[in-house]
Structures are given as C-alpha cells and as structure tokens.
Structure 1
Amino acid sequence: MDDLHGLPAAPLTVAAGQAACARLDVAANVATAAALVRRAADQGADLLVLPELFLTGYELPGIVADPATCTLSPVDPRLDPLATACAETRSAVVAGAPTRDPETGELHISAVVLGRDGRFAAQYDKQHVTPNERAAGFGAGARGCTVDLDGWRLGLGICWDSGYPEHARAAALGGCHAYVVGAMFSRGSGERQRATVFPARAMDNTSYVLLANHSGPSGPYHGCGGSAVWNPDGTLLADAGTAEPGLATARLQPDVLARARAEDPVLVDPSLTAPARPRSGADL
C-alpha cells in the first residue's frame, strides 16, 4: 500500500479541455489538441486533459472498420505535433485515443499520456467498457493507471469508469491526490450524470476530480461540455460551461487537500476498507 499521508509540496495547475472533433481525422484532432495545450499553458497549466477518444472522435464503427488507420501507438508519428507542443510549453497532456494491443490485436479505448518533454509516459485502457463498446469490439483494460506530476499522484479514468465508485476509491487508496477523467457525456442524461457523479467522487475520496468532456457532436452523441474541476469537498472549482473550444483551468492546492483529508477515516486508516486494485504508474 502506498503512503496515503504523503502530500504534494507545491500547487499544480491543471486544465480540462473541450473542442469539436473531426470524424476519424487523427491529424486534424492532434492539431486541435496541440493548440489546446498551448492555450492551457498560456493560462499557467502544467497538465491538460482531453475527452474520451478525442483524437478520432467517438466513432466506434469507423475505428473498428479500419483499426490500422484509426488506432494510435506510443511511437505514432501523428502524435509529433502534440509532443512538440508539450515539449515547447513544458506541460503534459492526457489525450483520449483508440489503441490496439500489439500482441493480441484487441482494441481499447485509452488515455495516452505525454510528459513535459513530449515523450510517451503512460497508457491507460478503459476498464469499464459499456455494453455498446464491448459489442462494437472493444475490450476492457486489465489495470488502473497512476501518473506522477510534480509530486501530485493522478489516477486516470475514462467515462463509464467514473460510474463505479470503487474505481475512484482504488485510485485514492493507491495514494492518488486527484481523479482525472476524459469522457463522452451527452446532452440530457449525460448532463445529469456529470452534475451528480463527479462531486460525489470528489467528496467520497477527498480528492480533486477533473472531467474533460466532449462539447459537440461525435458519433451518435452530442457532448454536453461542462469540462470541470471539483474540490476535495465536492464543490465546483472551475467549469468550461458550453465554451467551444473551452478550458476549465484550476490550481490544485496541497493545503486544501490536507484539510479535506484530515478527517477522512478510510484514508487515515486504509484497513477499514478493501485494498486498492493494482495500478501501473509513470512519472511525468
């Protein structure tokens, strides 16, 4: 079990981004992502998080029909403009993209992480795929993923993962200070999920929570926007609203986290609950 009492030494500025996607056009979406990295860096962000499947759009049939073109790998040269933006601004990015297991060929809905130097740092594969995603041909990831940026431990999630309280709890019990999610929440029911689930995950785990959500049409859905950051007590810290493109930029504070966790009985004594599930990790 990781040391749950360790806190970051300094604040971290994060941004949740949203923008329209071009259908299955990786180059165009990478360019949009790179522009958002630069815009977020101008606002002081150390990290930008982007929505689920942002680099292709939420286009499941198209991805499955042509995985050789639509999936990305850690060494994919199409990521170069995004890597350059990270290296030049000294900021990291978490970008939603489809991937394919090089050994089994299984498709995954993933979050690809590039560090401040622009180099590939980590990949998280969505663990809770929806029935529609499974039927389309996407498999579930085998483990959680934590990345470390300037002493802040960030647990990654993708959309439906957030609907399972134990997913965010495993991140907190694994020592994470924030739960970071890229998603496709649509107008209507998605708006209600966004407004209900994310404050609860923050308050339940006394963790900062960040949501990057689609803000326009993609596949069969129309994203409701509302990319946001919540405080460890569940209160809203920053909200991009319906801005297109938009950023929700917030400064995560160690003292705020410390105060929220001082009276959390589970995080003070992890033996009160089940152990965290295994998580891979990477330093940014």
Structure 2
Amino acid sequence: MPSGGSVFGVAEVDDLGNFPEKFLSGYEPDLIRADPLRCAVRPGDPRLEPIADACRGTGTVAVVGAAFHDQGELYVSALVIDANGELAARYDKQHLFKSEREIYRAGGAGCTLELEGWRLGLGICYDSGFPEHARAAALDGCHAYVVGALFSVGNGYHESRTWFPARALDNTCYAVLANHIGTTGGWNACGSSAVWGPDGRPLAEAAADRPELITADLDPQALGTVRDAEPMLSDLRDTTTHTRTRRRLG
C-alpha cells in the first residue's frame, strides 16, 4: 500500500464510534510518563473489557484513543475494538507533537480499516496537519479519514477548521474528527467534534463546551457524485519523478 501501512478487516456492523486522542487516560503526558504501567494500556489488558463488552452488546466498532505500552515503548495509539469485542487493529500516531517526542515513539505505518465495503484511514491529531498523511489513505482507497484528537481553544480550533475541510476536499473523502472538551494535560480543549463531507462542507458538529454524541451517515452515492465532479484523485500526477526547473531572478 502506498503509505507502507496495514489493512485490517473488521466484522460487519451497523455503527462505528470514534473517540478522542488518549481518551482512556486523558491527555496527561506527565502522569503517563511517571507511571506508564498504570496509565497506559497493554496487549491483552483486562481494562479494555468494558469497551469490548459494549461493542459486543451493541454490534459497534470502536476506535478508542489510548496511550499504549508495548515491549518497553510508549505509543499514542488508536485501538480498534470490533463488534466481537476483539482488538482488531492498532494504529500508532506517526507525527508526534513536539511535547510528545520525549515520551512516545512514533508509529511506523498507516492503517486502513475495511468495514461494510468502506475503507477508513486512521489518524491521530497532529497527523491531520500533514496533507501527505490523508493522501496516503486516499491512495490506498480510503473513503473516509477518521481522526481522534486534542485541539485546543484558539489556534487549535483554527487548525481543525482549516485542516479537516482541506483533507476532505483534497482527497474527496469524508473526514471525521473526535476531539476532547474541557481541560486535560494543561490544554483547554475546544470540543467541536465534527464530520465533513467529501466536498469539504460540514455535515455535523458537536458543542464546544459539553459532551455530545454526533452522528453522520456515509453515503456512497454522495461520495461518487463528488468524486465525479472533483476528480482530483484520478487526475493526480506523481510529481516526485518529474524534473523541476529553478530560475534566479535579479
């Protein structure tokens, strides 16, 4: 696959739930660094069982943000719990924010989920600021870019409202953001989780200051209509192999 990542099949379900970055612990770098065994989950961690039970009971796939401890390393991860309650996939954040680099190891691969005929590319917060990250998912056939994050009040809100419509329109795919609210890890989060259509227009948006569940239907007909009208993906040329000219003026 172009992103060098993995594709995971997920059992057929009716719903997908997406949660913010490090949802299980809160965005608490000092706390997690001080006691990773308590604050980060691990392979086979029994503390994931309540989520697994909820997924089994409702036929839902959950993408849950967590600090993850694996073979002595810490990762910022998105854990995919399928409708059978199994840990079906794990994506590790590839683009670490400057304050995270002393604590976590960057992930080495992208992750695409296959669910009921849809291909979903996972991202975590700062990943979404890099157009190449969502583009790699789109080139792997993804129809939606699904991200858990912590965007803060002020510039973080501005970034989220710039990046996500652009990622959606650039790749003619749905873009899904689950964001924290309130204060965590010293950050005042801006909430406003949202879903954008493949034309970059918002479809649903949560409140900025209270917990709220938003839903959106991914419509294959709408996706096809936008991709017919905006053929960026099919018209994309590989510019990395082309000669580039440079001229000094004056």
Q: Same-fold call, TM > 0.5?
A: yes
**Other-structure match for 1:254:** 220
* 1:66 lines up with 2:35 in the alignment: yes
Paired with 1:264 and 1:272, the residues of 2 have a C-alpha distance of 18
**Other-structure match for 2:75:** 108
**Other-structure match for 2:166:** 200
* 1:161 lines up with 2:130 in the alignment: no
Aligned partner of 2:148 among 178, 182, 192: 182
1:93 offset after TM fit, Å? Answer: 0.4
1:148 counterpart letter in structure 2? E
Unaligned regions of 5+ residues in structure 1, if any? 3-11, 14-44, 276-284
2:100 counterpart letter in structure 1? E
Q: CA RMSD in A?
A: 2.0
Paired with 2:139 and 2:83, the residues of 1 have a C-alpha distance of 26
**Superimposed CA distance per residue, residues 170-203 of structure 1 (whole angstroms, 9 cap, x where no aligned partner):** 0000010000000000111111111111111100
Paired with 2:220 and 2:28, the residues of 1 have a C-alpha distance of 39
The residue matched to 2:30 in structure 1 has which SS? helix
**Other-structure match for 2:176:** 210
Query: Is residue 56–residue 84 contact of structure 2 (8 Å, CA) maintained in 1?
Result: yes
Paired with 2:227 and 2:240, the residues of 1 have a C-alpha distance of 18
Query: Is residue 202–residue 232 contact of structure 1 (8 Å, CA) maintained in 2?
Result: yes
The residue matched to 1:233 in structure 2 has which SS? coil
The residue matched to 1:242 in structure 2 has which SS? coil
The residue matched to 1:251 in structure 2 has which SS? coil
Identity percentage of aligned residues: 54
* 1:222 lines up with 2:176 in the alignment: no
1:253 offset after TM fit, Å? Answer: 0.1
Paired with 1:62 and 1:146, the residues of 2 have a C-alpha distance of 31
1:111 counterpart letter in structure 2? A
1:206 counterpart letter in structure 2? T
1:264 offset after TM fit, Å? Answer: 4.1
* 1:173 lines up with 2:139 in the alignment: yes
**Superimposed CA distance per residue, residues 19-43 of structure 1 (whole angstroms, 9 cap, x where no aligned partner):** xxxxxxxxxxxxxxxxxxxxxxxxx
Paired with 2:190 and 2:225, the residues of 1 have a C-alpha distance of 32
Aligned partner of 1:99 among 68, 92, 111: 68
1:73 offset after TM fit, Å? Answer: 2.2
Written as runs of structure 1 = structure 2, the 5 A alignment for 1:225-236 is 225-236=191-202
Paired with 1:272 and 1:260, the residues of 2 have a C-alpha distance of 22
Query: Is residue 262–residue 268 contact of structure 1 (8 Å, CA) maintained in 2?
Result: no
Paired with 2:95 and 2:238, the residues of 1 have a C-alpha distance of 25
TM, length-normalised to structure 1: 0.77
TM, length-normalised to structure 2: 0.88
Unaligned regions of 5+ residues in structure 2, if any? 3-11, 242-250
> Aligned pair in 2 of structure 1 residues 218, 186: CA closer, same or farther (>3 Å)?
same
Aligned partner of 2:104 among 133, 138, 162: 138
2:118 counterpart letter in structure 1? W
Paired with 2:232 and 2:206, the residues of 1 have a C-alpha distance of 32
